[in-house]
Chain A
């Protein structure tokens, strides 16, 4: 019984966290983007974070190698 209650509680917490994350929903158009420090695999120029790129127009392009 205790084990079942624990499972239900765990699921409830998981669903709450998932719902919260979904409500966060990522950055909307028109919002300021959060700062972030990159780990580049190539081409370090000193512009290592979004804040370093202020005054530039930045295209963040998600792509895949397949």
Chain B
């Protein structure tokens, strides 16, 4: 397993809020539905992007692990190799990219500021207002970058809405509600988006949904009883008892998933 997972967790905890993402690709055949259990037992409390499918292969990949690739803010592959032998190199490259996220980048000062607003501040509404204000006067040599920034903003808004849907499909109604409320703050300044997100936020106040949110919160509280220590099998019983009392709720699926993770025994 090496030290790559703990290092990715540490970097995510320290830099996730600034725009760092770690995608952990399990490459020794662990089934997709086992990865969550494995991580809960071995790395409790960690929040990483987990999959068992590599998105692409690196040219320097020999087939052995650990192997990592670092992708920059514009989708360029910045580095690839064994992360255990290049901790400082990776951290320096990450720091340089995070600096760009903080200050923004672009062909004009306004595009640069708009990118800082959307990617660093999460201020999507303000970024949309700024881009709209310069659209008529954008010079020909900056037009392609302006269009790119606008497309990035639209994609960011769409992905944050998709995240709310995704969390509901996972029956993490608690997270979905928090993400909806957070998005409502982010879109302030753009009337269309404000209206659309207000509708989404309102769904969480409906009686049935409010029950699902409350149940998901209870499930997560039980599952994380031990904090940074691994969940224990006795929590599985508590989760299943709670599920029995709420058999009609959608969040019972979350209770069962968490129960399985609590009693999962790593290979």
Contacts and interface: CB of A to CB of B under 8 A. Distances in A.
Contacts of A31: 76-77
Ranked 5 nearest A-B pairs via Cβ: A46-B163, A44-B166, A64-B28, A26-B57, A36-B55
Contact of B54 (A42, A54, A60, A66): A60
Nearest to B157: A46
A55 B156 contact: yes
29 contacts: A25-B59, A28-B77, A29-B60, A30-B77, A32-B77, A34-B56, A36-B55, A38-B55, A41-B50, A42-B39, A44-B170, A45-B49, A46-B159, A46-B163, A52-B159, A54-B75, A55-B118, A56-B21, A56-B73, A56-B101, A57-B93, A57-B101, A58-B21, A59-B22, A59-B94, A61-B5, A61-B24, A61-B66, A64-B26
Interface residues of A, number: 39
Contacts of A43: 47-50
B225 interface: no
A20 interface: no
Q: Is the interface of B mostly helix, strand, loop or mixed?
A: mixed
B27 interface: yes
Binding site of A, secondary structure by majority: helix, strand, loop or mixed? loop
A46 B183 CA distance: 12
Contacts of A65: 1, 26, 28, 30, 38, 266-267
B69 A27 contact: yes
A17 interface: no
A48 B73 contact: no
B192 interface: no
Contact of B68 (A51, A57, A59): A59
A47 B28 CA distance: 24
B8 A57 contact: no
A55 B76 contact: no
Contacts of A26: 56-61
B217 interface: no
B2 interface: yes
A39 interface: yes
B27 A64 contact: yes
Interface stretch (B78-86, B205-213, B233-241): B78-86
A52 B74 CA distance: 11
A33 interface: yes
B40 to A, nearest CB: 9
Given A42-B35, A44-B170, 13 more contacts: A26-B57, A28-B77, A33-B77, A40-B51, A41-B35, A42-B49, A44-B163, A45-B49, A58-B71, A59-B11, A60-B70, A61-B24, A66-B28
A13 to B, nearest CB: 22
Interface string B4-24: 110010010000000111111
Given A28-B77, A56-B73, A64-B1, A48 B162 contact: yes
